[in-house]
Amino acid sequence: MKNPSISADFLPPLTVAAARSQKLAAVGITKKFGGLTALDNVSLDLARSTIHGLIGPNGSGKTSLLNMLSGYYVMDTGDVFCGGQNLSRVSVEDRVKHRIARTFQTPRLLGDLTSLDNVMSGAWSRTRSGFLASAFALPSARKEEREIRQHSEKLLKGLGLGELMNRRANTLEHGDQRFLEIGRALAMSPDYLLLDEPAGGLTDGEIAHLEEVIKVVRDAGIGVLLVEHHTDFVFRTCDEVTVLDLGKVIVHGKPAEVQNHEEVIRVYLGGTNASLAKN
């Protein structure tokens, strides 16, 4: 499976297409937890320079899918491809090398370290200095550290956290922690950024900021997967939207199409189309 072209003849056409595309692609993923089917033959493409929304009611499998893409869960069947390589057996740590970064529903920061150190920690996989070079603080290691620091400072200032750079992360307010975690993910210089309910617990003002940030990230060529509950925010921000229900994809398309799709209104909003129809 290392080289998908070799075994292409034996694979279904959809898998072959995904293996050859320059996208982050989930193909035919099924995952069961005990008797419960969390995901049932789900496929999803995340292209670069795109904001792709993933919505659905509680328990529809959104976060499970994100956990498969980032490698935290092992799927029962199906594959994950990134830029033509099969990542299905690649560990979470090694997926970072394939430039896949993510955030969590509850920010997973290093609370004892400063905001700046948290963002800089994101650059671990880009760090070339070995243990001995760091231990003796060789010029190469110091130069690399300086570059990472400058880049991280720019990210923090860009995200509006410049004043909080030297604060310990666990003293930050919830909204700031969310932006800080996005900063750490961006310090990995990802091609794909997977955001797990980034608007959770944010104020309206912060959600507006989040929207602006996500669009800048998209315009920098990064593919953003936005797993969210706030449908307004998703339809306003995304280029494409996929809707999951009970572990299956019900519809995928442009926000305007998805928004007015009969099935979405029925399943996702329990039959009332009021909140979607008002646009």
Partner 1 sequence: MTHPLFGRKGAGALALLVAVMLPLLSGDRYLLHVASLIGTYWVLIIGLNLIVGYMGQLSVGHVGLFAIGAYTVAIGSGVHGLSPELALVIAGVLGALCGFVLGVPSLRLPGFYFAMTTLGLSLIVGEVLVAQRDVTGGGAGLPVPGFSGPLATPSGLYLLVVGVAALISLVSWNITRLMWGRAMVSIRDSSVAAAAIGVPAGRVKLTLFTFSGFTAGVAGALFGALQSYVTPETFHFDLGLFFFICIVIGGKGSILGPFLGTVVLTLLPEVSASFAVVGHFLYALVLLFVVLLVPDGISSVLRWLIERFWPRPNPPTHRQLDLPLLASALRSPGS
Per CB under 8 A, residues contacting partner 1 are 70, 72, 91-97, 101-102, 104, 108-113, 117, 120-129, 131, 134-137, 141, 144-145, 147-148, 150-151, 154-155, 157-164, 166-167, 176, 179, 184-186, 188-189, 206, 209, 212-213, 216-217, 219-220, 222
- For residue 104, give the amino acid letter: F
CB nearer to partner 1: pick between 12 and 160: 160
Q: Please answer whether residues 76 and 32 qualify as being in contact, where contact means their C-beta atoms are separated by less than 8 angstroms.
A: yes
Burial of 88-127, coded b for 16+ CB within 10 Å and e otherwise, reads bebeeeebbebbbbbbbeebebeeeebbbbbbbbbbebee
Query: What residues contact residue 205 under an 8 Å CB cut-off, 6+ apart?
Result: none
Residues 6+ apart with CB under 8 A from 231: 55, 268, 275, 276
With respect to partner 1, which residue has the nearer C-beta, 126 or 248?
A: 126
**Least Cβ distance, residue 137 to partner 1 (angstroms):** 4
Q: Which is nearer to partner 1, 191 or 245 (CB)?
A: 191
Q: Which amino acid is at 197?
A: E
> Between 168 and 236, whose beta carbon lies closer to partner 1?
168
- Asked if residue 22 lies in contact with residue 84, where contact means CB atoms within 8 angstroms, the answer is yes
Residue 215 C-beta: closest distance to partner 1, Å: 9
- Shortest Å, Cβ 240 to partner 1: 21
| Smallest separation (angstroms) from partner 1 to the CB of 92 | 4
The answer to whether the beta carbons of residues 51 and 75 sit under 8 Å apart is no
Cβ of residue 157: shortest distance to partner 1, in angstroms? 5
Amino acid, single-letter form, for residue 225: L
* C-beta closer to partner 1: residue 21 or 121: 121
Min dist. Cβ of residue 213 to partner 1 (A): 7
* Comparison of 224 and 267: residue with beta carbon closer to partner 1: 224
Cβ atoms of 277 and 90 within 8 Å: the answer is no
Q: How far is the CB of 152 from partner 1 (least distance, A)?
A: 8
Residues whose CB falls within 8 Å of the CB of residue 12, separated by 6 or more in sequence, listed in order:
28
- Among 43, 97, 47, 95, residue whose Cα is nearest residue 222: 47
Whether the Cβ atoms of residue 26 and residue 80 lie closer than 8 Å to each other: yes
Nearer to partner 1, 128 or 278 (CB): 128
